[in-house]
Amino acid sequence: MTAERSKTILVTGFSPFPGAPVNPTERLMRRLPQRLGHHQSGVRFVFQVLPTTWAGRQEVTAKLRDALRPDAIVHFGVDGTRRTINVETRAVNRAVRVRPDAAGLSPDRPELAKSNERTRSATLPAEPLRAAARTGGAPARLSHDAGTYLCNATLWDSIGSGIPSIFIHVPALPKGRKDTRPGYPVIEEAAVRLLKEAARRLR
């Protein structure tokens, strides 16, 4: 009798980029293995920092998905306009061309794919993951707008791969006592609880 293959969740963050010289999701990718280990209740985690470049979509992220073939993907990224953690429920077929990536480049065209497909819905359950994030005291909401930058593009690609996927936007770190955005420890705890819930649902 053949032993059942363990399930794998790919967890990613991003490197810094113009407008975000400190990306808390890069730190998350260093800290989460210490908090969760590489296995959780029979589910294996693989943590990876992605380059915040349009070229990286194919050169890094697509190759990583193809090589690993995970059972689920949870992407993390930062959005300086957010005040809470946002669980993204969809991606759109658009790419902003006026905002350069970390290499100083913009996408070749204003859409992600040459097709009539306008949106793709996240394929991991958003509400249970949002609820899990909130159990640690983090403000967390569902969002229908992942933007038109690389966060949206990464979610679009991962959904299109057929692997159950979702994207979690975290706010930039607060800049003083009067800044109501959650601090890094709150974001980290929310990520731990969210990923434990994702693992529980894969078992």
How long is the chain?
Answer: 203
Q: Which of 26, 75, 169, 197 is catalytic?
A: 169
DSSP bridge pairs for 39? 44
Q: Which of 26, 75, 151, 197 is catalytic?
A: 151
Burial class (CB in 10 A: 0-12, 13-18, 19+), 83: middle
Instruction: Tell me whether residue 39 is one of the annotated catalytic residues.
Output: no
Instruction: Tell me whether residue 169 is one of the annotated catalytic residues.
Output: yes
Q: Which of 26, 75, 88, 197 is catalytic?
A: 88
**11-37 as b/e: b if 16+ CB within 10 A:** bbbbbebeebeebbbbbbbebbeeebe
Burial class (CB in 10 A: 0-12, 13-18, 19+), 46: middle
- The residues annotated as belonging to the active site are 88, 151, 169
